Chains A and B, each alone.
Chain A
Amino acid sequence: MASLKEFWHRLGSPRWFYQISGLWLKLFGVLALLLLVTGSVWGLAFAPPDYQQGNSFRIMYVHVPTAIVSQSAYLVMGVAGIVLLVWRMKLADMVLATIVPFGMSMTVLALVTGAIWGKPTWGAWWVWDARTTSMLVLLFLYFGIYALRQSIPARESAGRACAVLAVVGMINIPIIKYSVDWWLTLHQPATFTLTQAPSMPAVMWLPLAINVLGIYCLFGANLLSRLRLEILRREAGTQWVRDLVARGAP
């Protein structure tokens, strides 16, 4: 317990975080590359075609992981928002600021690959149903948080305003998740659930599971590398950053 408390306190030190995160960044980066290549090649070439959808179902291997991670990124941002509002931790504000581009790009990707999958499967690029509409709301939340930060010049008030919006917007995440159960929808239900075995054979769901893990590793690596840059920016005046820059920053 004592070490957990110590860890929490140390998170308050950007310098400490910068020093420990270099190794994590490499680890996540290598894992992401290995997993995403394996999962995508397997999904594209080796998984058997779907008995109803033929080969178009292979879009699932990019669509599902990006859709999942776009929501997880939002949740991390919401939690960072709570931590910022309650404990005023510097690092939480940096997470809030640096996660937006990744989360936004993954939401766009999920919507676009969904549209591309929808065309051969539903016969339409877009339908206004619960799942697609709530994902569009997620995209607008990311846009809103991005615009809010740009529009407030004072960093501290910008951080707090973004935190409030991020926390309030978390209500959308369960709506996305349960949208396929609560409303009549074209969108197929969840591929993975915690309580039931997947309804697909292992050769079909394993590559998906690998790509989901891979995209989480990519998320971790990307968040860490953006955070590390943000730390260098905000601590630019300090001696340790000056030393690091002079050494060529490993």
Chain B
Amino acid sequence: MSFDSWSEFFAMGGHGFYVWLSYVLSLAVVLGNVLATGNSRRRYLREQRDLQLRNDKRA
């Protein structure tokens, strides 16, 4: 561990704002990519299934 206490860890020697902002933004972009992909897959499969069910009923 390179820090002696949690408060030192959060302060990052006075650079806390820059360091934590970078990490939070990176996490947001990574999660955004993962979640957006999963969401559009689920939405697409739901739409297609509904479409197929409707078509099967009509046939």
What B residues does A105 contact at CB under 8 A?
29, 32-33
Contact B30 A229 (CB under 8 A): no
Residue A10 lies at the interface, judged by CB distance under 8 Å to chain B: no
Assembly CA distance A66 to B33 (angstroms)? 13
From A47, A108, A109, A218, residue with most partner B Cβ within 10 Å: A109
Give the contacting residue for A66; candidates B13, B14, B26; CB below 8 A. B26
**A22 vs chain B, min Cβ distance (A):** 12
Report how many residues on chain A are interfacial, defined by Cβ distance under 8 Å.
Answer: 42
* A48 pairs with B2, CB closer than 8 A: yes
Q: B25 touches which one: A45, A112, A218, A233 (CB < 8 A)?
A: A112
Q: Which residues of B contact A179 (CB under 8 A)?
A: none
B32 to chain A, nearest CB (A): 7
**Can you list, as one digit per residue, whether each of A219-250 has a CB less than 8 Å from chain B (1) or not (0)?**
00010011011001100100000100110110
Which parts of A101-156 form the interface with B (CB within 8 Å)? 101-102, 105-106, 108-109, 112-113, 116-117, 119-120
Size of the B side of the interface (Cβ < 8 Å), in residues, is: 30
**CA of A101 to CA of B36, assembled, Å:** 10
Name the residue on A nearest B41 (C-beta): A229
Give the one of A66, A108, A116, A225 with max B CB within 10 A.
Answer: A116
- Which secondary structure dominates where chain A touches chain B? helix
Which residues of B approach A to under 8 Å, CB–CB?
A: 1-3, 9, 12-15, 18-19, 21-23, 25-26, 29-30, 32-34, 36-38, 40-41, 44-45, 48-49, 52
- Whether the pair A120, B2 counts as a contact (CB closer than 8 A) is no
Judged by a CB distance under 8 angstroms, whether A170 is at the interface is no
Chain B contacts of A54 at CB under 8 A?
12-15
On whether A55 and B12 interact (CB within 8 A), knowing A233-B44, A249-B45, the answer reads: yes
Bound complex: CA A55 to CA B22 (Å): 13
Given A56-B15, A225-B38, A246-B49 in contact, is the A102-B22 Cβ separation under 8 Å? no
Q: Are A62 and B22 in contact (CB under 8 A)?
A: yes
